[in-house]
Amino acid sequence: MNKQILGYKCKKCGHVQYPYHSRCKKCGHTEWRGFDIVFDTAPLPQDGKLLTFTHLYALPPDFEAVTVSFGIVELSDGHRITGQLKIEAPKIGMKVQGKVELVRQEGYTKHWGLVFYSAA
């Protein structure tokens, strides 16, 4: 199954937020279940358009690559997300398609996140 990034849907007003906040940023609601805070989750779309990007040449010491590209993408439902780009010559406004991949390995900890490709 394809991995997905989840948005957090308010139990009261239905607003979906990403990233996670401990209460709804729209209506301020917190849904308690015992000592737990609960949200419904809903997968975010993975297609959208590129808002801005950078190619970083000074990477954290755990990266082996010479450069990694990052971008902020406006997803097709209007949410924005930061991710890595695997696009040779990115352009602001271009259509992109994301895929959840291994984006960073710090020691034994593996981080998964969205990597965007050109959708053209």
Partner 1 sequence: MRDVYVVGIGITSFTRLDYPLAEIAAYPALQAMQDAGLDKVDHVYVANMGGGRVSNQTALGSAVVDHLCLWPVGAETIENGPASGASAIKTGAMAIASGMMDTVLVTGAERMNEVNSLEATDFVATLAHPMAERIYGVTLPALAGMFTRLYMERYGVTSRHLAMVAIKNHANACLNQFAHVQNKISMDGILDGKDASHNNPVIADPLRFFDICPVSDGGAAVILASAEVAKKLGKPLVKLAGFGQATDTHAVHEREDPTALTAVRLAADKAFKMAKLKPADVDVAELHDAFTILEIAESEEVGFFEKGKGHLALERGETALNGKLPINTSGGLKARGHAVGATGIAQAHEIVLQLRGDAKKRQVKDAKVGFTCNFGGFGNNVVCLAMVRE
Residues near partner 1 (CB under 8 A) are: 18-20, 51-61, 63, 68, 70-72, 80-84, 92, 103-104, 111, 113
Distance between CA atoms of 49 and 70, rounded to whole angstroms? 13
Distance between CA atoms of 7 and 21, rounded to whole angstroms? 10
The interface mask with Zn ion, positions 20-59, x = CB under 5 A, is ----x-xx-x------------------------------
The partner in contact with residue 15, picked from Zn ion, partner 1, none with C-beta cut-offs of 5 to 8 angstroms by kind, is: Zn ion
Give the bridge partners for 32, in sequence order.
37
In angstroms, the Cα distances linking 40 to 7, 56, 69 are: 8, 35, 32
The partner in contact with residue 60, picked from partner 1, Zn ion, none with C-beta cut-offs of 5 to 8 angstroms by kind, is: partner 1
